[in-house]
Amino acid sequence: MKKIITVIIVLITTVSFSQNKNARASMEVDGVCLMCKTRIEKASLNTKGVKSAVWNVKTHELKLIYDERKTDVKTIQKSILAVGHDTKEVKATDEAYATVHPCCRYRDEAVKDDHKEGENEREGDDHNNH
């Protein structure tokens, strides 16, 4: 009986130590401006266990640091989808997308073009902070 209990304790300890409290991940998230950046980062950071979330306006890459004991990438992704932003793997619902500010409608080619024109006018300046 003692051997079984010892094996169970070792297994539980191994599982808990195998989860990283500073796991890193990145994912592609659609958006066009600094308002999108704020929304995406806030949704990520409001997910329990997320320590850092930085979204790049130009590359659309979201870099995350999170505690695997408290959350996972799928849960973080659901938080982002809920505020209306698509990821490379999953699209936000039309209802969630409809809540995004009209100037942030990244699925609309005219909106994307407007933001590109602004980038060309102010090269290197992330001006789209509405």
Report how far residue 16's alpha carbon sits from residue 33's, in angstroms, rounded to the nearest whole number.
Answer: 39
pLDDT digits (tens, 9 = 90+) for 69-122: 999 999 999 999 999 999 999 999 999 999 999 999 999 988 888 887 766 544
Rounded to 5 degrees, what are φ and ψ at 54?
Answer: -130, 115
Report how far residue 113's alpha carbon sits from residue 77's, in angstroms, rounded to the nearest whole number.
Answer: 26
Give the pLDDT of residue 110: 87
CATH number for the region 19-121 comes to 3.30.70.100
As a whole number, mean pLDDT of residues 58-63 equals: 97
Q: Which residue reads 């809540």 in tokens?
A: 99
Q: Per-domain residue ranges for the chain?
A: 19-121
pLDDT digits (tens, 9 = 90+) for 22-41: 999 999 999 999 999 999 99
Helix axes 73-82, 34-45, angle to 10 degrees: 130
As a whole number, mean pLDDT of residues 6-20 equals: 58
